[in-house]
Structure 1
């Protein structure tokens, strides 16, 4: 299974399909084929591995795969049927497929007399597939809300200036998180106030090879010379204040990892709507005072309504702190 996980890393991190790896063993336990999924429209990991064997080469074999074999026809046929047709007699997988259409492969295999073992290295694969599994289970992208603030919770000084609250190390981590996201979301207020480029950049300011799609939410017009228009990807405008509507549209467009970067009004709206899976909070050792809070109204009217978080990690980034947290009801995968 660890080899299957390593193979899965070869697949593309972005897109609507999960990264999956497969190892096929002969009856003596010798590895006879390996495969992984290379993206939409390509062979799934199991079929990729089977394709490397002669027609009867998988008779009596065991297939070890990171995700439950699919049981539906999409761009390709069902992997459950491919394994049955190949004569595989045992399938071992880590995590069940939560998809309404694609799930059910284990039941199909068992019905055909194939031995099925599940849950092997499940925690590790849950962590690896966290973004995709969230999208599959909830029917929406996995959403991270980020903000940077002073220790007293201010995102800007009294005059609205906010560059820079945090130092270079913290800002570079943000660029790494942008790179790992399918879309980066801000409100029109942030575009008008800060004129961000919303790109992912390296230490020297160079554009990284992978860039998130910039998404601007709100009804206000932004200047035609705004920096966001120089982004490598076209700007996606969401002309609404309904964040649930925004999330539905992003999911329909195939985005599975969404990074909400600002500002306070937009971040608060996502939190109030219960649409946050992870918080990326950067704290600078400084005090600003005033009314420019990192968050506004999130629907907490009394202490009993507080939105408690579970801290996943705290990390020193130069002089700043990076706090990763999740809503308390969510079990941090891989912890």
Structure 2
């Protein structure tokens, strides 16, 4: 008769359905906790952690609230205290193994006597990775992959930044039900409700940079600042404003443009052969094959400046260029229950000349906002 399989330190043992269910429940809580750090942790990831004691009872929880602050595991361990010994830690991202502005979380878990660590997503950052191996080497059972899809979605900006070496790009637009972003005479204020516009300011505040084209600057003279409602959760740095980036190939931004105000930092991206006497910081970039700016070079430069997330606003032409180059990672559309029948489309030339070239999307969420709908989708790729 075969002997039952014996476990060894650091080796995961097949779990029962009940145990798997509890793992999913605790990790779902950790994912929700991680979301509380959205917009305040850059250039760090959002991370949530839940600690249960040896009996399976909830002992502590926490999330990474701001860059330079304590990591989620440290916050949760502090709340759990001695109850963490022999318990399980549920973490949305593999505990770090390096010392940065804070100490390695893997060591904190070991010191606390945690017996098991359940991870949603392995850390793709070679600088910080290795926490799981460190824990296993010291006899801690480690499992990776619980609710990985949900955790990846919540940390999409940072994961894109690390894996692709460029910021995650969210394209936002507002349109009528028949897809018009402006009327025939060019007017566009306001297609959507005050609630939808307030939601846009919330998303702006969560981003590292707001990007718009020169066409939008000349037509609307926007401020491109984040002005969240007074009821919004307080930011650890209340004076923080996202970087404003104007894509202005020929350097046509007027010196009096609202986007150049002192309310927020601004970067005007121009072609390397363009002439300009603007006093604001100017970023010179190579031209693309069609004469516009090289958007890959733009995102690479923003990544060098630790811009993890970009909020792309305004301009069908610029949005079409980003889509054509495969540089849009998420689409957020605010659709108003209104019809125009003519006027400007939200998206310009995006490289889809036939139905076979259509840029297909996967819906992630459809949410009523005021009288409008907010539709969140992501492009279909080989990865999904």
Give 1:306 shift.
Answer: 1.6
Q: Give the counterpart of 1:215 among 240, 245, 261.
A: 245
Deviations 1:12-68 (A, max 9, x none): 6331112323344443445555554343334433345556788x9865443332321
Residue 201 of structure 2: aligned partner: 175
Residue 280 of structure 2: aligned partner: none
Residue 21 of structure 1: aligned partner: 48
Residue 66 of structure 2: aligned partner: 39
Note the aligned Cα RMSD (angstroms). 3.3
Task: Name the TM-score, length of structure 2 as normaliser.
Answer: 0.73
1:103 aligns with 2:124: no
Deviations 1:275-309 (A, max 9, x none): 1111122334222425x332222112332222112
Mapped contact 2:51–2:87 kept (Cα < 8 A): yes
Residue 134 of structure 1: aligned partner: 160
SS for the counterpart of 2:197 is: helix
Judged with a 3 Å threshold, the aligned counterparts in structure 2 of structure 1 residues 218 and 23 are, in CA distance, closer, same or farther, namely same
Note the residue ranges of structure 2 that are not aligned, 5 or more in a row: 1-25, 271-284, 286-292
Q: Give the counterpart of 2:374 among 318, 322, 329.
A: 322
Deviations 1:240-283 (A, max 9, x none): 41211121122222222211002111111110110111112233
Task: Name the TM-score, length of structure 1 as normaliser.
Answer: 0.82
- Which is further off, 186-195 or 216-225? 216-225
Judged with a 3 Å threshold, the aligned counterparts in structure 2 of structure 1 residues 9 and 328 are, in CA distance, closer, same or farther, namely closer
Residue 307 of structure 1: aligned partner: 359
Equivalent residues in 2 for 1:79-228, closer than 5 Å: 79-201=105-227, 209=238, 211-219=241-249, 220-228=251-259
Q: Give the counterpart of 1:232 among 251, 263, 268.
A: 263
Note the residue ranges of structure 1 that are not aligned, 5 or more in a row: none
CA–CA distance in 1 between the matches of 2:311 and 2:215? 17
Judged with a 3 Å threshold, the aligned counterparts in structure 2 of structure 1 residues 149 and 119 are, in CA distance, closer, same or farther, namely same
CA–CA distance in 2 between the matches of 1:221 and 1:126? 40
Judged with a 3 Å threshold, the aligned counterparts in structure 2 of structure 1 residues 172 and 118 are, in CA distance, closer, same or farther, namely same
Judged with a 3 Å threshold, the aligned counterparts in structure 2 of structure 1 residues 122 and 160 are, in CA distance, closer, same or farther, namely same
